[in-house]
Every structure is written in structure tokens, then in C-alpha cells.
């Protein structure tokens, strides 16, 4: 009997994992913008997404775990050229709903299970990724609780976990594994943010240990100056992973988002004092050129953008 193909939840229903195509696996489309500006939000988001067509992007993973979908009904209905995968879970402490901080593990598992099984809001958008975050290497009591919830949900529904782990990724993945999570379907984000010239070798050793568990690494911060320290560090991280035989564990995405400021839409800026926008094209305009400079082939880049995300979801 032929094995049934794995399904992936998107905001418009489930798809076969084979339909993912080129995937940007860490973005933010459904941020908590002023919901009364529904039409402006929809128009702008569609404009941003349409920029991706020439790069053959097929799937975008939104890692905004508390998104409400009612204000984005028009966006969801009109976004026919992309698969959008939403997330559920927990971000940093100041963004966590107060009730989640009070609820115990069992209650949170039940609440989030309903979202995964029945969907979120009147649109019934079923999330396809579990998001968790930690501020530091050591986990707070609440963070530990959320990591346990994420691990239980992953085992229950066989969907990936994405972490926000700029510090302490090795401890984070060990904690998830101890709770029973499958590292082959976990990707940890922003590890490159804690790298510098002084700690590069030690940090790289820890990153290799993360990949040795089976987990993947999401790189999103390459700065804007191809000769700058941030770009060089992040590109070197990717090269080290490739040279150590872990090309299959590299993921890239922009981690782009936008917001309203002074009644105007503003795209994320890399630094407060920079005017260069980190928009949704950042992966193609900054990250991929940096990798090509270090002799990443087109086959390598194809593996990073197509094959590795597929393996996360499959």
C-alpha cells in the first residue's frame, strides 16, 4: 500500500508537503498591527508578497504566534500565489498573554490543541508551526513550562518547533529533547546574533553540537554591509556548517516585519540609526549574495531553500 503523503497546515487549508517549494521559513506577515487599518494592511502585505514572485517563492512561514486573522481575511482570500503557514505558541515574556503565565502545562496543551485542531478565529486558520522563545541560556520557570508544552504538542501533532534562541541554543535544544521533542523537526533562530570575533570558535563548537542532535539552524542576520563584521561572521557560520557536513541543517530567511509608526507603515530597520530597510527581499538581496561569495553553489542554495525546509516539515 502506498504511504500517505505528509500534510502541512496553511492558512487556507492543508497541503501535501511536496507542495512547499522554495520556503522562507522565518517571516512575519501577521504582526499585531492596528486592525482598523485592515485595507491598508492587506494592500501593503500583498504588495510585499508580490515582490517575491520573481524569486519563485512558494511558501512563507509566519512566526507571529499571537496573530489574529480576522483583520487579514482579505489578505488570506487574495493571496493565491503562496502557501502561508501560521504559528501558535509563545514569544518572549513581555509578549506572552497574562493567562498563559498562570495556566499549567495541561491547560496550555489543551488550549493550543484546540487551535491546532479547530483553527484560530472565524477563519479557522490551523497553525503549522509551534513557536517558542527564550531570552537567555537559562530558562525561566515560565519558559521551561512553555518548552514542555511545545514538546508535547510536537509529539501529539507531528508539526515543527521554531525557537527564538539568540543565546543558549544548546541548552534550549537539550531541554526540548529531554521533554521528548524530535530535534529533526526543530529549527533554532538567531544564534548568529551572539557571535563575535572573540567567541567565534567556542560559539561555533556549540552550534555544531546543536546540529549533531539533528536540529537545524536558521540564519537571518547578515547586516547590510558585505564587508561588515556581521555579514562576515554570519557567512562564516554558514561556511563552517557546510564544511563540517551540515549543509542539510542550514536554513535562511529574512525575519522581516513591518509596523505602523506616526500613522505610516514602516518596514523593519536593521538598526535604529540605519535607514536601510530589512524587507522581505533581504534573503535574496543580502544573504544569498554573501553565501555565493564563499562559493556556495546554486545546488547548495537550492538545498537550503527547498530541501531543508521540506525535511523540517516532512
Residue 106's CATH number: 3.20.20.140
Residue among 254, 253, 219, 243 at smallest CA distance from 233: 219
Separation between Cα atoms, residue 277 and residue 282, nearest integer Å? 9
Q: Could you tell me if residue 102 is inside a domain?
A: yes
Domain count, the chain: 1
Whether residue 258 contacts residue 265, with contact meaning beta carbons closer than 8 Å, is answered with: yes
Q: Give the residue ranges of the annotated binding site.
A: 26, 28, 131, 164, 190, 255
pLDDT of residue 270: 45
Is 261 within a domain? Answer: yes
Which cell is 54 given?
520573481
| Residue 19 is assigned to a structural domain of this protein | yes
| Structural domain that includes position 147 | 7-313
Residue 274 has pLDDT above 60, yes or no: no
DSSP H helix total and E strand total for the chain: 12, 13
Predicted pLDDT of residue 227:
87
pLDDT confidence of residue 314: 95
Sign of CA dihedral 184, 186, 187, 188: negative
Grid cell at residue 293: 561569495
pLDDT in tens, 207-226: 999 999 999 999 999 988 88
1 inside domain: no
Q: What is the pLDDT of residues 24-73, one digit of tens each?
A: 999 998 876 677 787 888 888 888 899 999 999 999 999 999 877 766 77
Q: Is residue 98 part of a domain?
A: yes
Confidence of residue 87 (pLDDT cuts 50, 70, 90): very high
Residue with cell 514538546: 151
Mean pLDDT of 102-106: 97
55 lies in some domain: yes
Residue 2: inside a domain:
no
- Quick check: 191 and 166 in contact, CB under 8 A? yes
What is the C-alpha to C-alpha distance for residues 66 and 298, in angstroms, rounded to an integer?
A: 36
Q: What is the pTM of this model?
A: 0.94
pLDDT in tens, 112-171: 999 999 998 778 889 999 999 999 999 999 999 999 999 999 999 999 999 999 999 999
- Of all residues in the chain, the percent with pLDDT exceeding 70 is 94
Q: Does 57 fall in a domain?
A: yes
Among residues 55, 90, 8, the alpha carbon closest in space to that of 311 is found at 8
- Which are the contacts of 79, defined by CB distance < 8 A and separation ≥ 6? 12, 46, 49
Residue carrying C-alpha cell 509529539: 155
Q: Annotated binding site for Zn(2+), which residues?
A: 26, 28, 131, 164, 190, 255
Amino acid at each position: 500500500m502506498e504511504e500517505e503523503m505528509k500534510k502541512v497546515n496553511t492558512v487556507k487549508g492543508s497541503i501535501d508537503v511536496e507542495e512547499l517549494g522554495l520556503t522562507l521559513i522565518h517571516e512575519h506577515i501577521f504582526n499585531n498591527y492596528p486592525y482598523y487599518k485592515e485595507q491598508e494592511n492587506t494592500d501593503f502585505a500583498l504588495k510585499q508578497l508580490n515582490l517575491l514572485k520573481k524569486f519563485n517563492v512558494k511558501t512563507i512561514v509566519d512566526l507571529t504566534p499571537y496573530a489574529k486573522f480576522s483583520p487579514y481575511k482579505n489578505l488570506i482570500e487574495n493571496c493565491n500565489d503562496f502557501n502561508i503557514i501560521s504559528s501558535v505558541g509563545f514569544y518572549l515574556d513581555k509578549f506572552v498573554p497574562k493567562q498563559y503565565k498562570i495556566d499549567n502545562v495541561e491547560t496550555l496543551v489543551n488550549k493550543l490543541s484546540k487551535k491546532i485542531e479547530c483553527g484560530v478565529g472565524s477563519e479557522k486558520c490551523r497553525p503549522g508551526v509551534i513557536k517558542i522563545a527564550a531570552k537567555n541560556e537559562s530558562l525561566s520557570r515560565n519558559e521551561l513550562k512553555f518548552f514542555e508544552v511545545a514538546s508535547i504538542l510536537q509529539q501529539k501533532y507531528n508539526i515543527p518547533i521554531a525557537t527564538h534562541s539568540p543565546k543558549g541554543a544548546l541548552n534550549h535544544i537539550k531541554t526540548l529533547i529531554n521533554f521528548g521533542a524530535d530535534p529533526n523537526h526543530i529549527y533554532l533562530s538567531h544564534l548568529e546574533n551572539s557571535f563575535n570575533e572573540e567567541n567565534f570558535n567556542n560559539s561555533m563548537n556549540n552550534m555544531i553540537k546543536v546540529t549533531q542532535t539533528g536540529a537545524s539552524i536558521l540564519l537571518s542576520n547578515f547586516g547590510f554591509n558585505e564587508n561588515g563584521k556581521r555579514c562576515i561572521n554570519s557567512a562564516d557560520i554558514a561556511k563552517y556548517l557546510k564544511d563540517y557536513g551540515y549543509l542539510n541543517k542550514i536554513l535562511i530567511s529574512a525575519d522581516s516585519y513591518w509596523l505602523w509608526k506616526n500613522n505610516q507603515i514602516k518596514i523593519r530597520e536593521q538598526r535604529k540609526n540605519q535607514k536601510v530597510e530589512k524587507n522581505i527581499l533581504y534573503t535574496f538581496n543580502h544573504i544569498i549574495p554573501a553565501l555565493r561569495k564563499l562559493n556556495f553553489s546554486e545546488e547548495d542554495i537550492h538545498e537550503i531553500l527547498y530541501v531543508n525546509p521540506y525535511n523540517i516539515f516532512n
